[in-house]
């Protein structure tokens, strides 16, 4: 029995349960058997669930396919309007509003419940009646606890949610893992490969929120010559293929590629799928998770449409804190291992992700809400333990030394009126002459290889004063400290990077404004001692403690400290000038931004899980700086070696006083001075900067 047949059988098995649940929801809408305080919550939520059922029937009966574009838009708006920024403050999805109306403990629990009901939207369009039935039954079970009494104990509701999450791990989490490795889960791929991409209606079939960004992207791609679409797809898929070659991994052993992207790029993705098929790779294209059982905080991993409200995502990122305990974590790990073991052969065929990122959306700086759930210190330990052990399980079945990836980024219409012009400029940036950069970057590496450490100094208000210790070479004729990164796994071209020696890496890293994982940080400052973070701050909040907590949650990922896993010098001055020209520096994704100045990654090294693979630069020298004193602990205990995070922080050229290499003899080789490359042989990188200066005059 194939996966589609299995899903059909599961739907059929729950038909009677589903009908009973729907009938009960209809009764809840008109009943008044719970206290007045909670009546609005239950009736409003029941109405929303019945709207989901209404759309499900239209999709299942084929009525949806005959809807006009305007009708599809209207239904899309109905499903998402409750959490849009203009409505969010009066929605039970907002923990602050829920707590105000329903009390602290019950408000948080019922806000989580409401958010979980919203995770049913994808199930409507994927015709997952079994998933909807489970959600409906959860809601009804909670509702039953409130009937005929003033208020149940919060613990009773917490226990219901706990056992829902625990019991259905072997459904939701198991399916999630299989969707990530099995091409037979083809909902999105079927739309991309077979829909009429000239008609906007196909976008609404995914069930994601659709805005002018998705529509505008699809419209713009239709205006481009087919040759340009092919060029975009070729850059993307060739980067993936070359990444395997450059890291000494055998792509021929693999048969599955994971495609991640934002809706609107289907014309490029369709072309890319054909390219991948020629390489012997079938696509797995899974949706970004939305359930408390499967999502990873507020991060969108997979394909997705517009994010209706980032504050909503941020508020619910730690919903698991309301019920997480060690037993639950162990249950998740047990399910994870069982599913991977069952699908061992499929997992071995997984080659890794190929990602198209987008940028240009209005930057988001979250509000810290005390009503939103947060982890206790014990739960933080559990979360980190889960990340560590789940990472080890994944690596056991999908080996890091056998997989690779590629990432490329493009703007969306929200970036501004000059969107078409910016889009064309980004295509140019993504296809710069790799050979030219390879040569110039090798000149930088030749100087860096002479160094004992690198000194980075900020300029003006930038307080950076950082010493980065470098590994020693045993055989300089055959070994090198830095990787010459052109355009394969990280597109566009433009950086040299290393894994620093932690001991002796000291000082302050400061940047006036930076966006990391979609979140804004103002006046971010991090202090390092022997390569590990000892202090940190930002000016996002009036309270210094709120700023520290913000960084602790989102940069340190709840670790007390993190090592400096990477030091790099970006060389893509063309991208830097484009950002300045169009005034989009704050909207640039880290993928491009990291190429526009030196950057520093806290967390794991770039070589995590694949340190034993021998990697060489184009000149034949082996890159030996792949480990540090933390990552080397993998040989004793992997849980002590990896942090499962890697966050790049870039200082733009205009905030740089100097980057210099200091040799053992005390010689100071200056690479960058006052934001300009001064090392002989690298001056060509200043040409775009000269053009910017002319334009300013």
For 676-689, write each residue's pLDDT tens digit. 999 999 999 999 98
Determine the pLDDT at residue 297: 86
- pLDDT of 570 reads 94
pLDDT band at 589 (very low <50, low <70, confident <90, very high): confident
Q: Mapping DSSP to helix (H, G, I), strand (E, B) and coil, where does residue 265 land?
A: coil
**pLDDT exceeds cutoff 80 at 411:** yes
Q: How many CB atoms lie within 10 A of CB 693?
A: 11
496 three-state secondary structure: strand
SS3 601: strand
Q: Which class for 268: exposed (0-12), middle (13-18), buried (19 or more C-beta within 10 A)?
A: buried
Question: Would you call 65 exposed, middle or buried from its count of C-beta atoms within 10 A (0-12, 13-18, 19+)?
Answer: exposed
Could you tell me if 306 and 290 are in contact, meaning their C-beta atoms sit under 8 angstroms apart?
A: no
Residue 1 pLDDT grade (very low, low, confident, very high; cuts 50, 70, 90):
low
What mean pLDDT is reported for the chain? 94
pLDDT, residue 2, reads 63
pTM score, two decimals? 0.89
Q: What pLDDT shows up at residue 125?
A: 97
pLDDT for 296-336, tens place per residue?
Answer: 888 899 999 999 999 999 999 999 999 999 999 999 999 99
Rounded to 10°, the helix 377-397/326-342 angle is: 10
- Over pLDDT 90: what percentage of the chain? 85
pLDDT tens digits along 207-230: 999 999 999 999 999 999 999 999
Among residues 521, 608, 531, 520, the alpha carbon closest in space to that of 562 is found at 531
Across 247-261, 363-377, 516-530, 680-694, least confident range: 680-694
**482 vs 516 pLDDT, higher one:** 482
Mean pLDDT, residues 512-517 taken together: 88
pLDDT at 697: 46
Cα 339 to Cα 344: distance, rounded to the nearest angstrom: 8
Query: What does the alpha-carbon distance between residue 131 and residue 122 come to, in Å, rounded to a whole number?
Result: 10
Question: What mean pLDDT do residues 242-254 have?
Answer: 91
**Burial of 655 per CB tally in 10 Å (0-12, 13-18, 19+):** buried
Give residue-wise pLDDT tens across range 192-207.
999 999 999 999 999 9
Question: Residue 409 to residues 43, 236, 327, 425, 593: CA-CA distances in angstroms?
Answer: 43, 10, 40, 12, 11
Q: Average pLDDT for residues 418-427, to the nearest whole number?
A: 95
In degrees and rounded to multiples of 5, residue 456 shows phi and psi of -120, 125
In what side-by-side order are the strands of the sheet with 256-260? 282-284, 256-260, 350-359, 406-411
List beta partners, residue 283. Answer: 257
- pLDDT per position as a tens digit, 477-499: 999 999 998 867 778 889 999 99
Q: Residue 128 — very low, low, confident or very high, per pLDDT cuts 50/70/90? A: very high
Q: Is 37 exposed, middle or buried (0-12, 13-18, 19+ CB in 10 A)?
A: middle
* Contacts (Cβ under 8 Å, ≥6 apart) of 537: 523, 524, 525, 544, 547, 548, 551
Neighbours of 624 (CB within 10 A): 19
């Amino acid at each position: 029995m194939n996966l589609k047949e299995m899903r059909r059988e599961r739907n059929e098995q729950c038909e009677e349960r589903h009908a009973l649940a729907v009938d009960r929801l209809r009764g809840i809408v008109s009943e008044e058997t719970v206290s007045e305080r909670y009546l609005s919550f239950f009736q409003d939520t029941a109405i929303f669930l019945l709207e989901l059922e209404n759309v499900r029937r239209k999709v299942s009966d084929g009525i949806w396919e005959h809807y006009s574009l305007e009708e599809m838009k209207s239904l899309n708006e109905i499903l998402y309007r409750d959490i849009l920024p203009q409505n969010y403050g009066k929605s039970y999805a907002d923990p602050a509003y829920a707590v105000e109306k329903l009390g602290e403990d019950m408000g948080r629990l019922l806000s989580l419940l409401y958010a979980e009901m919203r995770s049913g939207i994808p199930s409507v369009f994927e015709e997952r009646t079994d998933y909807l039935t489970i959600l409906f039954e959860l809601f009804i079970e909670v509702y039953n606890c409130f009937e005929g009494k003033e208020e149940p104990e919060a613990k009773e509701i917490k226990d219901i949610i706990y056992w829902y999450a625990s019991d259905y791990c072997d459904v939701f989490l198991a399916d999630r893992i299989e969707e990530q490795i099995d091409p037979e889960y083809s909902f999105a791929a079927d739309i991309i490969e077979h829909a009429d991409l000239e008609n906007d209606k196909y976008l609404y079939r995914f069930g994601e929120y659709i805005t002018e960004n998705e529509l505008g992207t699809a419209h713009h791609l239709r205006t481009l010559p087919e040759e340009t679409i092919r060029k975009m797809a070729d850059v993307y898929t060739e980067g993936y293929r070359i990444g395997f070659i450059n890291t000494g991994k055998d792509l021929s052993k693999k048969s599955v590629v994971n495609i991640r992207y934002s809706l609107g790029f289907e014309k490029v993705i369709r072309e890319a799928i054909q390219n991948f098929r020629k390489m012997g790779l079938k696509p797995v294209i899974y949706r970004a998770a939305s359930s408390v059982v499967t999502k990873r905080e507020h991060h969108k991993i997979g394909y997705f449409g517009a994010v209706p409200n980032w504050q909503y995502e941020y508020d619910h990122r730690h919903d698991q804190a309301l019920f997480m305990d060690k037993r639950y974590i162990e249950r998740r790990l047990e399910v994870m291992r069982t599913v991977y073991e069952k699908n061992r052969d499929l997992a071995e065929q997984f080659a890794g992700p190929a990602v198209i990122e987008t940028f240009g959306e209005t930057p988001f700086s979250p509000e810290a809400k005390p009503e939103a759930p947060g982890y206790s210190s014990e739960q933080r330990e559990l979360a980190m333990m889960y990340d560590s052990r789940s990472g080890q399980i994944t690596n056991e079945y999908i080996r890091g030394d056998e997989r690779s990836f590629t990432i490329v980024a493009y703007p969306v219409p929200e970036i501004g009126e000059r969107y078409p012009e910016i889009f064309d400029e980004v295509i140019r940036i993504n296809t710069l002459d790799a050979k030219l950069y390879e040569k110039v970057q090798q000149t930088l590496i030749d100087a860096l290889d002479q160094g004992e450490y690198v000194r980075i100094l900020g300029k003006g208000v930038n307080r950076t004063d950082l010493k980065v210790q470098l590994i020693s070479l045993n055989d300089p004729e055959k070994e090198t400290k830095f990787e010459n990164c052109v355009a394969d796994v990280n597109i566009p071209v433009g950086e040299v990077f290393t894994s620093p020696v932690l001991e002796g890496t000291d000082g302050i890293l400061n940047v006036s404004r930076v966006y990391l994982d979609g979140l804004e940080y103002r006046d971010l400052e991090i202090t390092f001692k022997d390569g590990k973070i000892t202090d940190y701050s930002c000016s996002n909040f009036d309270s210094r403690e709120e700023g520290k907590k913000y960084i602790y949650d989102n940069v340190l990922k709840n670790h007390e400290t993190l090592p400096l896993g990477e030091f790099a010098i970006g060389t893509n001055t063309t991208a830097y000038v484009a950002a300045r020209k169009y005034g989009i520096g704050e909207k640039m994704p880290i993928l491009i931004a990291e190429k526009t100045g030196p950057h520093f990654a806290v967390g794991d090294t770039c070589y995590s899980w694949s340190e034993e693979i021998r990697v060489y630069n184009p000149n034949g020298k082996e890159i030996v700086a792949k480990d540090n004193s933390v990552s080397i602990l993998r040989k004793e205990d992997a849980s002590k070696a990896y942090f499962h995070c890697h966050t790049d922080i870039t200082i733009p050229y205009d905030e740089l006083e100097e980057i210099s290499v200091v040799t053992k003899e005390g010689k100071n080789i200056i690479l960058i001075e006052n934001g300009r490359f001064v090392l002989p042989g690298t001056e060509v990188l200043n040409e775009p900067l000269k053009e910017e200066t002319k334009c300013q005059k």
